[in-house]
A and B are shown apart, each in its own frame.
Chain A
């Protein structure tokens, strides 16, 4: 008598079905034991279990409704199955008798196969099972940038890419198409100073310091300016040159710059956000200097940064360049790797620390790693670096293909530019709104969820824009795209707004 393969469904409640399934999945013996237990009362029909795979639980409609909770990143409670399915073999003459037994359903166990290639009418595309070999020179940037990327880009680094590729990866076109390009938004750059090649309309000049808008096009600040404009080409800039001139780079000067930002925000609500691409390459020990800003959240600079954020201006910080795989040459061992490389205001819970990835979504090996010294869950996000923005052939600062915008210094203003772009469309976004929109829509790399190398993933302007639109449609009026109004809270046209 011919034997047939069937799926036997036995309708009987099974508590903690997920736990049982997991146990059977780790042990073929346990799987067979469970399967034989399910069909034990049907043995008189000559039923044989034909697989070492675990029996499969099925759930009632009412249980399935609770599965919506599985979308959470947290582990959900176990559930009770209403029936269990086991793959069996039985004489074909006894199938009807089996199907007639109480609490039993019999289903065909069909065999599926790959579609043969000769049936494929793919028009030149690869058939199922064929390896796809991309012509990298012709491939779309999204084909080369994978979300599962686990590689690290270390020296010698991959070649830099064009600005257009970065804009494609950021999906800025989706926002630009609706008319938003960062207009009416001012980004504060606390850096080395910015060239007047870029749209500097104000900032702060301190005694013994540089005047806003007077730095060289080769300056680090000019690179950051170019990188804000990647996503938000119509944004304007305030220049706070704290890494240049007398006492360059000291906490005291940074403190003065952030106070100038707070003063300006009190006057007219600008700058709308800040970008900060600096930090520490070495650290004292916590025992030696417990009040250092790397360790003390109440250090005056950390407090002042929090005051600026409380005033409604998001503060983006570069994560740092002392990642453990290929740290920058000037990194001291005290500041390399997890727990050390993201420190000071860059690691405050309120700021956004930005790690660096290349255009293929590979983490750049110098990009600093969490946990931070002040908050464990750092970096917050990643953004692109290693592209021709300010530097490179045909770019404002010129150079060969070996010169390109680099460091987490470049990634930070790219992310800040994305935030500026969103603010030009959604005028009332708070720093928390910006954080939420960017993290909810980031392209997650590596293991699911936040990780210490790339944070929540790579910022994506198009996805964040759509997410905010949908949030608006779901009832939050504040998230409906509305261009920033020409209110009194705008920089004056009469002067440069320099303090």
Chain B
């Protein structure tokens, strides 16, 4: 399952990736943090469905959203 994890802008990317890995998630081989507004940034990771629950307990993670799959109309 894929997730979009948001962090506060300016977080050390290496630290964020390490945290996600420790939580049991696969991070992309070429990770790209995408800015959101002025205060946040997000990255897509892959892993089991419990991420929103475990992330809630971590002060560095702001929120976790599902990354869905879309199709051509």
Contact = CB atoms under 8 A, between A and B. Distances in A.
Residue of B4, B66, B71, B73 with highest tally of chain A CB at under 10 A? B73
A146 interface: no
A320 B69 CA distance: 15
Contact of A321 (B65, B68, B73): B73
B4 to A, nearest CB: 5
Contacts of A334: none
A191 B42 CA distance: 22
Contacts of B6: 300
A299 interface: yes
Contacts of B63: 291
A408 B71 contact: no
Contacts of B71: 243, 249, 278-281, 330
B73 A300 contact: no
Interface residues of A, number: 42
B2 A408 contact: no
Nearest to B41: A300
Interface in A389-409: 407-409
Contacts of B64: 291
Interface in A310-349: 318, 320-321, 330, 344
Interface residues of B, number: 24
Given A252-B4, A278-B71, A409-B73, A291 B66 contact: yes
A251 B73 contact: no
Given A291-B65, A299-B65, A278 B32 contact: no
B21 interface: no
Interface in B22-58: 29-30, 32, 34-37, 42, 44, 52
A124 interface: no
B68 A280 contact: yes
A292 B73 contact: no
Given A250-B44, A321-B73, A300 B30 contact: no
A301 B42 CA distance: 10
A255 B34 contact: yes
Contacts of A254: 70
A296 B64 CA distance: 12
Most chain A beta-carbon neighbours within 10 Å: one of B29, B42, B70: B70
A307 B37 contact: yes
A293 interface: yes
A252 B70 contact: no
A416 B40 CA distance: 31
B2 to A, nearest CB: 6
Contacts of B29: 207
A304 B34 contact: yes
Given A291-B63, A300-B4, A307-B37, A250 B42 contact: no
B6 to A, nearest CB: 6
A243 B73 CA distance: 11
Nearest to B63: A291
Nearest to A289: B66
Nearest to A317: B73
Among the interface residues B32, B42, B72, which one has the most CB atoms of the partner chain A within 10 A? B72
Interface of A: 191-192, 207, 220, 243, 247, 249-256, 259, 277-281, 284, 289, 291-294, 296, 299-301, 303-304, 307, 318, 320-321, 330, 344, 407-409, 412
Interface of B: 2, 4, 6, 29-30, 32, 34-37, 42, 44, 52, 63-73
12 contacts: A249-B71, A255-B42, A256-B32, A278-B72, A291-B52, A291-B65, A300-B6, A304-B34, A318-B73, A320-B73, A330-B71, A412-B73
